[in-house]
A = this chain, B = another copy of it.
Amino acid sequence: MTAAQIEFYWDSASPYTYLAATQIEALAARYGASVVWKPFLLGKAFEATGNRAPATIPAKGKYLFQDLRLWAQHYGVPFRFPSVFPVASLGSLRVACTLADADIGRWALAVMQAYWTEDRDIGQPDVLKAVAATLGWDGEALLAQAQTPAAKDRLKANTAEAVERGVFGAPTFFVGKTMFWGNDRFELMEEVLSGRLAA
């Protein structure tokens, strides 16, 4: 039997994606599964599916603040709502598309920690370079690569693939063909990974 894979469609602009990103590797490890981090453009998935960002409904937006705070407490991770919101996540996602698969998760987490805990505007190239530096990477070179057609095309392909598979929000996970939307589905995903629930 091959080890399970968890495919993780992430966009650094999404607060619940940050929360999920802080938990997913430990979750996967509990089931001997691996995580495939897939950067995608959530805004394009909203456009393609007709879905809307939760904060576009004022009552939902208000609820989000309390809900995010409780989840962060629950996971024991820092969280601070950024002053620049929504943020231009495109650059951070294109950088991810230049990385080897094994490095994408580290980048995703570092970028989302900068934005969702340190209030740094990840839409600014200098911020992305500084985040790269904390990982010991050459930010200047990465940002240059992020402008190549290869990086842009990979992000477009990931986004098209996500929409094709039914993704309409973030974070979204797949275990085989079974889709899970939201960090609030970890409970169900774990039961599928353990075989307690039939996918």
Contacts and interface: CB of A to CB of B under 8 A. Distances in A.
Interface residues of A, number: 33
Main DSSP-derived SS at the A contact region = helix
Interface in A149-186: 163, 166-169, 178-179, 181-182, 184-185
Given A197-B74, A198-B73, A59 B166 contact: yes
B197 A70 contact: yes
B166 A74 contact: no
A49 to B, nearest CB: 4
Interface in A35-59: 49-51, 57-59
A49 B63 CA distance: 12
A166 B63 CA distance: 8
Interface of A: 49-51, 57-60, 62-63, 66-67, 70-71, 73-74, 163, 166-169, 178-179, 181-182, 184-185, 187-188, 191-192, 197-199
